[in-house]
Structure 1
Amino acid sequence: MALQGSMTFAAFTFFLLLTTLPHEPHASSRGSFGRNINPPVSGLCSSSVIVHGYECQEHEVTTNDGYILSVQRIPEGRGGKGSGSRTSKQPVIIQHGVLVDGVTWLLNSPEQDLPLILADNGFDVWIANSRGTRFSRRHISLDPSSPAFWNWSWDELVSYDLPAVFNYVFSQTEQKINYVGHSLGTLIALASFSEGTLVNQLNSAALLSPIAYLSHMNTALGVIAAKSFVGEVTTLFGLAEFNPKGLPVDAFLKSLCVYPGIDCYDLMTALTGKNCCLNSSTVDLFLMNEPQSTSTKNMVHLAQTVRRGVLTKFNYVRPDYNIMHYGEIFPPIYNLSNIPHDLPLFISYGGRDALSDARDVESLLDKLKFHDEDKLSVQFIEEYAHADYVMGFNAKDLVYNAVVSFFNHQVNT
């Protein structure tokens, strides 16, 4: 998933449970584009991009705190389509959600996958893979077997991962950057923009199924998980790495299924809303490749975000710990009203999304109420739920074409 690109605690719980429990995924019968994606250790270019006739390059980006991230570059479209002067091509960074990686953007046919669509439309595409995922499990001095390797939350994705990828892409292209995020990929972007990070290198941003406020998240499993997660994980797990395939996490997730009203056999609908447009073959590929590990601290931070309904840095709970890290008793707030009013933003959200609930997106839009009218484009798709934005068979027609048009408009204005 780029579980995702992308997601909140409820989202990652859903994807984890899908891998450990019997399930009957909701799926459309339209089309079948199944292929065995089993990316080698070297990266996903050879298995998911080059095989379809696209040039693809594997890059490494080192963050200021020492993590070595894998990034894939698709510099032009299939067979040179969308080519031209590479120095003038607009770069696009695509960011997945939690407990997934960049593979989730490449599970449909080439004509339906966002990175390849962007490449065919003349963009220089860069697919990010966050720390802890299969291609980004390296550090200049720490080993993944060490608890110190996993001592981070999404704060560090804001402070280190995104800036490192942006700086690297900017140095390689010398062009301002367009950004696409899904779910958690939108959360870390909004937090970054609110602090003035990245905006000088940013041309525009497309936020799909955005996550910022979660007061109306309406999934029973997600709410129960968010309420129980912090105490359970700290007292029972004692784990630094949150590995969805490990036995302690498996046991914790299965324990949630005993709660009344929790249907662990219909998790796609129960946690993301009723996705309208997923092929069964795509869901199968998803389950073959995801979920990915993240840090337990990251899961705790996401649970805090769900429970408190406000966007803050990680809360160490103990006042002395917060003072040590922040110089104050409570963790600082990410004030989304500080996002520059002239930053071009495209926001798309769905009417059936149980994670990025429409009412919570409206709260986000309220924070952007002073945004320049000609710099904010908002799309609402009544039938869409959370996973449709990454894996929907009709996302090209409903969402991705609009993203391409939005990016092109920013270039021409």
Structure 2
Amino acid sequence: MAIEHGYLSEQHTVTTEDGYILTMFRISKGKNCKGPNRKPPVLLMHGLLMSSDSFMDSGPQAGLAYLISDLCYDLWAPNIRGNYYSKRHIKLDPSVGILLEPGSRHTYTRSQLFRWLGDTYQLLLPTFYQAGLYEALPLGGFVQEAASYLCKDYALADFACKVALGLIDSFHPGSIKTETVQVLFGHFPGGTSVKNMAWYGQALNVDEFQHFDYGATGNSQLYGTSQPPAFNLSLVSVPVVIIHGRHDYLTSPADVEWVTSKLPNVLEQYYVEDPMWNHFDITYSQFTCRSILPKIKEYLDVFST
């Protein structure tokens, strides 16, 4: 996609300490950058069931990968273990359970579809394992293939596929272009482990940000306590800026307020002015350039040379 729009893209692999081979993409310099690159490089990390592609799906006028590289930053877009870019391992097969650390608390998630998915994977995790199923909603699976096929049609993409996004998150009419919807369903959902989805199911039903719950016996064997320990967010000393939308149904304002209160070095918690701004808008909205890029640029300028 980058090359089609006149940007130079590189592909790299990174092997983690525990042997996972991850694919990273790089735009070393933006097409519209007229001066030298600024330092340090920028790492743009995707979310659940997505990939680095998600920051490019809305095109050069709205995709954050393009916009940040055009600000003269060396832009890197990694992919977490388990999605379609990062399934390889130096000795393990992808159908070995993949253990992923969670991203945040989800106690007050308002997405009913996301709650249903999380609860379903949590309930059926032993059944999935017994059936030899370890991957959830993979690229090339029935859900993704059907969505990709149907959403290629402009009329369906303009209505049914936008409705599908609204059922996962919330509705923000006019924010995501129909052309972007046609592109994004070509590789969304991008897959994760069934265990990761089960963890999200657990996270929906506890008032804490904690490790995976294996039950009292399993927890005692692994953690030394009957309950899974909470992540110690007070150790996150890196300066943090939180950008959020009040209409986000996946990561609710209540959960954002909670995690903000736990982090010791929050520089700013910024709510997007648009009252309808939601979760998918971060990656897919046609309005990212005016809604979130200025705040991103403000702090990139502070911490770069």
**TM-score clears 0.5:** yes
The residue aligned with 1:121 is 71
Among 284, 289, 301, the alignment partner of 1:396 is 289
Are the counterparts in 2 of residues 226 and 307 from structure 1 also a CA contact under 8 Å?
Answer: no
The residue aligned with 2:136 is 242
Shift of 1:128: 0.5
Aligned length: 286
In structure 2, what is the Cα distance between the partners aligned to 1:264 and 1:53?
Answer: 29
- For residues 147-177 of structure 1, give each alpha carbon's deviation from its aligned partner in whole angstroms, at most 9, with x where no partner exists: 32x331235xxxxxxxxxxxxxxxxxxxxxx
Residues 1:216 and 2:163 aligned together: no
Aligned 1:14-25 pairs, distance under 5 A: none
Residues 1:282 and 2:180 aligned together: yes
* SS of match in other structure, 2:92: coil
In structure 2, what is the Cα distance between the partners aligned to 1:137 and 1:407?
Answer: 31
Structure 1 runs (4+) deviating above 6 angstroms are: none
Among 280, 286, 292, the alignment partner of 2:190 is 292
- For residues 184-222 of structure 1, give each alpha carbon's deviation from its aligned partner in whole angstroms, at most 9, with x where no partner exists: xxx2xxxxxxxxxxxxxxxxxxxxxxxx33222223333
The residue aligned with 1:312 is 210
In structure 2, what is the Cα distance between the partners aligned to 1:265 and 1:109?
Answer: 18
Shift of 1:264: 10
The residue aligned with 1:232 is 124
Identity of aligned residues (%): 26
Write 1 or 2 for the structure with the bigger share of helix: 1
The residue aligned with 1:182 is none
The residue aligned with 2:257 is 362
In structure 1, what is the Cα distance between the partners aligned to 2:187 and 2:166?
Answer: 20
Gaps of 5+ in 2: 146-159
Are the counterparts in 2 of residues 240 and 297 from structure 1 also a CA contact under 8 Å?
Answer: yes
TM-score normalised by L of structure 2: 0.84
Shift in CA distance, 296/115, structure 1 to aligned 2, threshold 3 Å: same
Residues 1:62 and 2:15 aligned together: yes
Q: Which amino acid aligns with 1:335?
A: N
Q: Which amino acid aligns with 2:18?
A: D
Are the counterparts in 1 of residues 239 and 265 from structure 2 also a CA contact under 8 Å?
Answer: no
Shift in CA distance, 120/265, structure 1 to aligned 2, threshold 3 Å: closer
The residue aligned with 1:347 is 242
- For residues 29-53 of structure 1, give each alpha carbon's deviation from its aligned partner in whole angstroms, at most 9, with x where no partner exists: xxxxxxxxxxxxxxxxxxx112222
Among 153, 178, 189, the alignment partner of 2:100 is 153
The residue aligned with 1:407 is 300
Which one has more relative contact order, counting CA pairs under 8 Å at least 6 apart? Answer: 1
In structure 2, what is the Cα distance between the partners aligned to 1:215 and 1:312?
Answer: 12
- For residues 360-398 of structure 1, give each alpha carbon's deviation from its aligned partner in whole angstroms, at most 9, with x where no partner exists: 222222224x646xx334233322011111110011111
Q: Which amino acid aligns with 1:364?
A: V
Are the counterparts in 2 of residues 89 and 122 from structure 1 also a CA contact under 8 Å?
Answer: no
Shift of 1:100: 1.5
TM-score normalised by L of structure 1: 0.63
The residue aligned with 2:154 is none
In structure 1, what is the Cα distance between the partners aligned to 2:74 and 2:89?
Answer: 27
The residue aligned with 2:52 is 102
Q: Which amino acid aligns with 1:152?
A: L
Q: Which amino acid aligns with 1:74?
A: I
- For residues 258-313 of structure 1, give each alpha carbon's deviation from its aligned partner in whole angstroms, at most 9, with x where no partner exists: xxxxx999332233111241111111111112212211111111111112131111
